[in-house]
Amino acid sequence: MRRIPILLFALVLVLTAFARSANKKEATAVSPVVHATDADTMRAQGEQRFRANCGRCHAAPQKFPPRAMATVVRHMRVRATITEEDMRLVLFYMTQ
């Protein structure tokens, strides 16, 4: 039981380090994927992310209404621990 706070503390430290480094990167470099304005590129990226992430467990479902799909994607983000960037691109792909 005594180790739990230590493990929790270590986890928080690691995540904080990641959050800081990511924040610095955001300030200095622009990710070509996240900030892509070309819808076709984002759609292609979204399909790629969909196949890589969602395809790990199930076949492609039909496209649901956008607001329902937004809920499904949020649910899957938590369930399948999908990254935020993947979630955005998958949602874009599934709602186009």
Partner 1 sequence: MGLQLSYLYAHAGLLRRWRRALPQLAALSLLTFFVRAHGYAQTADPEKPIPILSGTAGFLTSVTAGQTLLDTQINPVLLLPLGNRWLVESRGEFEGKFQRPPGGGPFGGPVDKHLDYLQVDYIANPYVTITAGRFLTPFGIFNERLYPEWIRALQPDPLILPIATASSDGAMLRGGFAVNAQANLNYAAYVSVTSIGVNGVESERHVGGRLGFFFPHPRLEIGASWQKVLQDDRKNAVGFHVAWQPPALPLSVHSEFVRSNQGSGYWIEGAYRLSQAHFWQKAMRHTEVVARSQQFFNGNITSDTAQSLGLPGANTREADFGVNYFVKDGFKAVSSYGRQFSSAGNFNQWTVGIVYRFLVPLGREGTP
Residue numbers of the site for partner 1 (CB under 8 A)? 1-2, 4-9, 11-13, 15-16, 18-19, 22-23, 26, 49, 51-53, 55-59, 61-62, 64-75, 77-86, 88, 91-92, 95
92 touches 63 (CB < 8 A): no
Per DSSP, 84 falls in state H
Least CB distance to partner 1 at residue 69 (A)? 7
Least CB distance to partner 1 at residue 30 (A)? 13
Least CB distance to partner 1 at residue 63 (A)? 9
How big is the chain by its Cα radius of gyration, in Å? 17
93 touches 43 (CB < 8 A): yes
Q: Which is nearer to partner 1, 12 or 41 (CB)?
A: 12
80 touches 26 (CB < 8 A): no
